[in-house]
Amino acid sequence: MEPNVYTPQLAKIVQTKDEVVGARAIKTFRAEFVNSARFDYRCGQCAMLSVFGKGEAMISISSSPLIKEYMQFSILRTGRVTAALHDLEAGDFIGVRGPYGNGFPIDEWRGKNLVFIGGGIGLAPLWSVVQTALLRRNEFGTLSLIYGARTAKDIVFKDDLADLKSQMPVHLSIDVAEPEWNEFVGFVPTNVLEKKPSPANAIAITCGPPIMIKFVIKNLKDLKFEDEQIYTTVENKMKCGIGKCGRCNIGFHYVCKDGPVYSWAELKKLPQEY
C-alpha cells in the first residue's frame, strides 16, 4: 500500500508545561507516537501537528534528535489550531506528519563556535540545535546564546535557561525596563551589537520575528560575519507541508520543503517576500 503523505500518525501527549501564561501564552508539549512509528528527524526540521476538527499547524521540533524517548514542541497560542493545542493535556492525542524541511547543517559546523540568537518563540526552533550541541559538546567550539523577549514574563524555557547558564554564556534581554531586571534592556539586534560576538571561526544561528531577523543579520554583517556564517530559519503560512499547495514559496523555493533553514548567502538571492 502506498504511504499517504497526508495521513498523520497518532501521538499521545505525555507532558505539558506552561512556559508563558496570559496573552501571548506559550506551552511546551512532549509527545510519543502511539505505534512507535519511524520518525528520524534532523535539527531544524518541523512537523505538521493535527488537532482533528480544528486543523493542522507546522511546528518546529525543539527537542534534540539524539533524544529518542519523545518529541518536544513549544507552541505560541495565536490562532485556531494553536489555541486548540493549548487546550490539550497529557493523555490527549494529536496527529503528527513529517518530519519536513531541510534542517540545520549541523555536521558542517564541527569545530566552529556557535552563536545562537533568538527572539520570543524563535528560541524553540533553535533549541534542538542548542541541545544537540550540548550532547555532542566536544565536536564544537564555544557556544553562546543571546536571547530576548518583550517582557520578563514572555521569556520562554525559563527553567532551562537558568540551567543553561552553567553550561554557556547566556545573554538575556527584554524590550522595556522592569523592576528586578538587571540584564540588557532593548531589542535583540541591539544586544547583538552590545555583546559583539566574534566572527572568527563562528556560525551565527538566528530565529525570531521577521523584523528581528532582518536587523540581526544587518548587525552581524556590521560585526564582519560573512554571508555564509549566518544561518536563519524562516516561517511562512503552510498547509500541505510538502511543497504542493503553492502557499509558502519564497521565489522558486517552498519553505516547507526547500527550507526553512537558510544561510544568508542563500536567502539573499531569493526575492525578499517573507
Partner 1 sequence: MEKTLAKKSFPQWIKKLGSWSVYIPRKDKEGRWNYVEADGGEVGLEVLQTTLPPKKILFPQREVFLEFAMTPAGGRETLEVKEVLPDVKPTVIIGARPCEARAAWLLDKVFGGEFRDVYYWKRRDQTSLVGFACTTPPSENCFCTSVEGSPHSEEGLDLLLTDLGDKYYVQSLSPKGEKLISAAKDLFEEPKPEVKKQVKAAHAESEKKIKRQLKDARPIAEKLKGMFGSPLWDEESMSCLRCGICTYLCPSCHCFDINDEIENSSPLRGQRVRTWDTCQFPDFTMHSSGHNPRPDKAARLRQRLLHKFQYFVQVYDKFMCVGCGRCITLCPVGIDIIKVLDKVRENGA
Partner 2 sequence: MANIEDLKEEAKKLLREGKVKYIIGYGAGTNGWPAAPLFIKKHEDVDKLVWNPTCVHNLVRFLVDEKRRKARQKQPDKRPVGIMVKGCDSRAVVVLLQEKFIDRNDVYILGVSCGKTGVVDDAKLSKKMGGKKAKKVEVDAQDRFVVTTEEGTVEAAAEELLAERCLECKANFPVIYDVLSGEKTKRPLDKPFGSLEKIESLSAAERWSFWKEQLDKCIRCYACRSACPMCYCDECVVDSINLAVTADTTADEKAQRIRWVQRSAESSENLIYHLVRAIHLAGRCIDCGECERACPLDIPLRFLNKKLEKEAKELFGYEVGFDSALPALISSFRDEDPQDFIR
Which partner, partner 1, partner 2, none, binds residue 114 by CB below 5 to 8 Å per kind?
none
Does residue 25 belong to the site contacting partner 2 (CB under 8 A)?
yes
Angstrom distance (rounded) from CA 196 to CA 173: 15
Q: What residue type is assigned to position 19 of the chain?
A: E
CB of 79 to partner 2, least distance (A): 4
Distance CA 142, CA 140 (A): 7
134 binds, among partner 2, partner 1, none (CB under 5 to 8 A by kind): none
Q: What residues contact residue 76 under an 8 Å CB cut-off, 6+ apart?
A: 24, 25, 26, 82, 120, 121
Note the Cα 1 to chain centre separation in Å: 34
Binding at 23: pick from partner 1, partner 2, none (beta carbon under 5-8 Å per type): partner 2
Q: Where are the beta strands (DSSP E) in the chain?
A: 9-20, 26-33, 46-51, 55-60, 71-76, 93-100, 113-119, 143-149, 170-174, 184-185, 202-207, 230-233, 249-250, 253-254, 261-263
Q: Are 30 and 166 in contact (CB under 8 A)?
A: no
Which positions touch partner 1 (CB under 8 A)? Answer: 2-8, 10, 50, 52-56, 78-79, 82, 93, 95, 209-210, 235-237, 239-240, 242-252, 257, 271, 273-274
Determine the length of the chain: 274
Chain positions 79 to 98 lying near partner 2, rule: CB under 8 A, are 79-80, 82-84
CB of 238 to partner 1, least distance (A): 10
Query: Which lies closer to partner 1 via its Cβ, residue 78 or residue 263?
Result: 78
Judged by beta carbon distances under 5 to 8 A according to partner kind, the member of partner 1, partner 2, none in contact with residue 239 is partner 1
Compute the least distance from the CB of residue 144 to partner 1, in Å.
28
212 belongs to the binding site for partner 2 (CB under 8 A):
no
Q: Which of the stretches 75-83, 146-154, 226-234, 265-273 binds partner 2 when contact is defined by CB under 8 A? A: 75-83
Q: Which residues bind partner 2 (CB under 8 A)?
A: 23, 25, 77-80, 82-84
